[in-house]
Structure 1
Amino acid sequence: MGLAFRALASIKHRGFAMALCFALIAPVAFAQAPQQLETTMKNMLAAVQANSLANFTAAGDAAFQQGMNQAMLDGVNAQLAPRLNQGYTSTFLGSLNQLGYTVYLWKLVFKDG
């Protein structure tokens, strides 16, 4: 009887652990960005490729537009444009609140490996 009880308890613990893992992973697996956010992200990546400061900052507020400069974009362009030009896929991971701002998280997978 004791052995059967331990086996049943072990199965219940495993089932609970699997349900908990699924509950934690499912929101990430099923996260979808609102269309406007995805469009903004893609426009900003296109601006990085084109090295266009005006297009990169277009969706930002005044503080973002003033805080970003061409030298900063040049650095991002030098690192990312060659890889972006070869293609990529983007996946929305979710959002979080950081210092009073909503931050949207994306994963980029570059086709160049």
Structure 2
Amino acid sequence: GLVMQRTVLLLLLVSIPISFLWLNMKRILLLCRQERDIAEVAQSYIFFSLPDLIAQSLLHPMRIYLRTQSITLPLTYCAALSIFLHIPINYFFVVHLNLGIKGVALSGVLTNF
């Protein structure tokens, strides 16, 4: 109910500064003397993972709410489906669409929904 709504709102609000941090990760990594190639790949992965940050702000409180209500079967089905679909989706994005690390991030986003 109300606690879940507040939790979602809080997580969405906290996602805003985290998003800005993620969007500047290349600069942060370079300041930490990370190699430029690694910083660029990390930035690409993080950029395409941003939708997952928002999704988790919504989904995680729902999972907890359902568990507290002892409603676990839908969570089990969703987790099994996610595991079943992750490898084929990952393969499709990385190999068939040649997206590389971007495809890995996008497949993670899709299977977390």
Q: Which has the higher contact order (CA 8 A, sep 6+)?
A: 2
Larger Rg computed on CA atoms: 1
User: TM-score, normalised on structure 2?
Assistant: 0.30
Considering fraction of residues, name the structure with more strand. Answer: 1
Considering fraction of residues, name the structure with more helix. Answer: 2
